[in-house]
Chain A
């Protein structure tokens, strides 16, 4: 029971986070549409960071979802560790690219 609650909460947070991560992407594109693409690397890194985070969040959600039999043997903790690691690597690259 506890597990399912925790899983629900986790799922909720992830979905919110995913939505949050995707929102700035749209904002970025709108912003760029308005003011132009001068610091292009900033724009690109901003967009890529959002998209990347969203993709990673989606992956996490796929992996922790019980209905996906594909990942049945994969514990959610392992999925979370993967998520954290991938995020760290992604943001290292983003920071470097941001200039």
Chain B
């Protein structure tokens, strides 16, 4: 692994602006290669347990519906984590409620019984006889597959609780379910539905297995034989991925009842294994198909959803212990092996849950170099067995293998003949592995050549295994030559994926050159005369950086060799300008520039005292006016004395006051529309009372005049 890290570090360090995308692609390519080989199935491990604890977390002592609760409890039970949560109090309450109320939906009852089977709630309180007779009635009238499935499943669970359940007409029920099967091994949900489905086949097989288990008398063996034949046909329509994993899937017309391949495969595995459990004789399914299914479930890795995890774990537990074939999984704990530290090639053969396999031996049948397919490098090497760790191993130092990527093909052979019919090992299994080692770099040389036939101006020896610093100088009529050799631990020429030379000018303008290999050595000749334009006529100091990197090279490096002082001619008029250098990409992650908001500068205001002084001054005339008024005395002689006109004139004054008050409010808080609306009422009122008052005054004065 070490060399891989180093390799990626080089990619990271070689942050060359315009070649970065190439490097990124390379990085993705190699990382995908290494992941692909590393992700080849591993048995269920601690990561599944921790994922289960993360995905199944009870809220208020409950996992939600009874179906979800069953899935959670079953998964945790299989993984040996059933003691993690104590949810029995709340869940048992729900279970007893469901079982006590004899619900119309048999599905709820089915899951309640399943949960009860795990939690073992107070079974004395449950009327199992009543539920059983209920279920028998449902079964009698059932005409769709889910009805059969849930009623038979419930009866089976009641029987497992220790109550006697007798299925009166088992042959009839068997026939009714069998009637729904199709010629290709799939099943229909009910007799009216034309669509056949693989998921239904899984359900039907489980229901049939239940009938055989519950039957009071032996079920007709010929019928069981027919169903076995159906199962074989069902396995003929199994689908496969490129990596050899097998799964079941359905074509869907309606998206509403979509089921994922995982769900469908899980249903089939449940059905087939439970049918194999109850039927006598062996099912005629090839071990490879069982192994392919097991690999499909394992290749999912650690699922992200609780449903997926349940289906994966439950179907693997069905496969772990079945009567057809028990799949044995071959896995490599490490696919990157270092020749320097003399790693061992280890092979693990276990069941899907990582339990020990029966006595067996593992043979490395062939090993190919991925670059040169054809002749195998190694043939028929038996692996040693380490009894303590129950692991098969081989010392790679003894294999005389060079660095590189290899395709390894293993074969597992069981020691006992009777195990052959019990376990599926899958014949040959291939893996790819990286053998890494330290690469020797020698004959390093850096030279400045004159253009006249190549006489050397300066020649510097380079020891690329350690840091050194050279200072060279050259002009545009000279050439630059770099050469070195790379040899593998076995003395072969090594061709790394990345061999780059980078020249960087003081102004950060960079130029990248790929170094080609020719006749066992890497050589690069730069003719500065042809490069002046590419260098933008920039004279001065150029740093020399050399990158040599490969996934299998443990000592990959990115090293500054020194600098070369270049003397290039003056640029002509129309010479291209060097492109602007992009900003440091890491700046993107730095703090952003602070945004400064620009507000309108507040207007200059006078000092408060001055404003107040002027306010007082404006009030002075008013005070003078009031004083004058008091001096004169208010003349109310003309105020009408009779009650009618007096009331009008009071109203008139009040109206004026009201309007002024309204103006005040308008200024303070009301808007124009509210003020105008109020004015609409006040105005006519004021006009009316004002007219009455003033006309009264006018008539009295007219009377006076006339008199």
List the interface of chain A (C-beta within 8 A of B): 2-3, 5-6, 9, 12-13, 16-17, 19-20, 23-24, 27-28, 30-31, 34-36, 38-39, 75-78, 80-81, 84-85, 88, 91-92, 95-96, 98
The answer, yes or no, to whether B163 is at the interface (CB within 8 Å) is: no
Chain B: interface residue count, which band? 35 or more
State the CA gap A24–B622 with chains docked (Å): 10
Most central of B605, B660, B691, B701 by chain A CB within 10 Å: B701
Contact B614 A77 (CB under 8 A): no
Chain A: minimal CB distance from B530 (Å): 72
18 extra A-B contacts, CB within 8 A, seeds A20-B624, A77-B697, A95-B667: A2-B638, A3-B705, A9-B632, A9-B635, A13-B629, A23-B618, A23-B620, A24-B618, A27-B614, A27-B618, A31-B614, A38-B605, A84-B656, A84-B690, A91-B663, A92-B679, A95-B663, A95-B666
State the CA gap A68–B675 with chains docked (Å): 39
Q: Which chain A residue shows the least CB distance to B623?
A: A20
Contact A23 B691 (CB under 8 A): no
Chain B: minimal CB distance from A6 (Å): 5
Hey, what's the 0/1 contact readout for B84-118 against A, CB within 8 Å counting as 1? Answer: 00000000000000000000000000000000000
Contact of A77 (CB < 8 Å), options: B675, B679, B698: B698
Contact A27 B617 (CB under 8 A): yes
Q: Which chain B residue shows the least CB distance to A77?
A: B694
Contact B618 A3 (CB under 8 A): no
Contact B635 A24 (CB under 8 A): no
Chain B: minimal CB distance from A38 (Å): 4
Chain B: minimal CB distance from A51 (Å): 14
Q: Which residues of A contact B622 (CB under 8 A)?
A: 20
State the CA gap A75–B701 with chains docked (Å): 9
The 16 listed contacts between A and B (C-beta, < 8 Å) are A3-B705, A6-B637, A6-B638, A9-B632, A19-B621, A23-B620, A24-B618, A28-B618, A35-B611, A75-B702, A77-B695, A88-B656, A92-B663, A95-B675, A96-B666, A96-B672
Q: Which residues of B contact A19 (CB under 8 A)?
A: 621
Contact of A16 (CB < 8 Å), options: B614, B617, B628, B702: B628
Q: Which residues of A contact B656 (CB under 8 A)?
A: 84, 88
Contact B698 A34 (CB under 8 A): no
The answer, yes or no, to whether B467 is at the interface (CB within 8 Å) is: no
Q: Which residues of B contact A84 (CB under 8 A)?
A: 656, 690
Chain B: minimal CB distance from A47 (Å): 12
Q: Which chain A residue shows the least CB distance to B614?
A: A31
The answer, yes or no, to whether B83 is at the interface (CB within 8 Å) is: no
Q: Which residues of A contact B667 (CB under 8 A)?
A: 95, 98
- B650-707 contacts to A, CB under 8 A, are 656, 659-660, 663, 666-667, 672, 675, 679, 686-687, 690-691, 694-695, 697-698, 701-702, 704-705
Q: Which residues of B contact A38 (CB under 8 A)?
A: 603-605
Chain B: minimal CB distance from A68 (Å): 17
- B20-75 contacts to A, CB under 8 A, are none
Contact A6 B625 (CB under 8 A): no
State the CA gap A9–B638 with chains docked (Å): 12
Chain A: minimal CB distance from B632 (Å): 7
Contact B606 A35 (CB under 8 A): yes
Contact B698 A23 (CB under 8 A): no
State the CA gap A28–B622 with chains docked (Å): 15
State the CA gap A78–B620 with chains docked (Å): 31
Q: Which residues of B contact A80 (CB under 8 A)?
A: 694
State the CA gap A8–B659 with chains docked (Å): 28
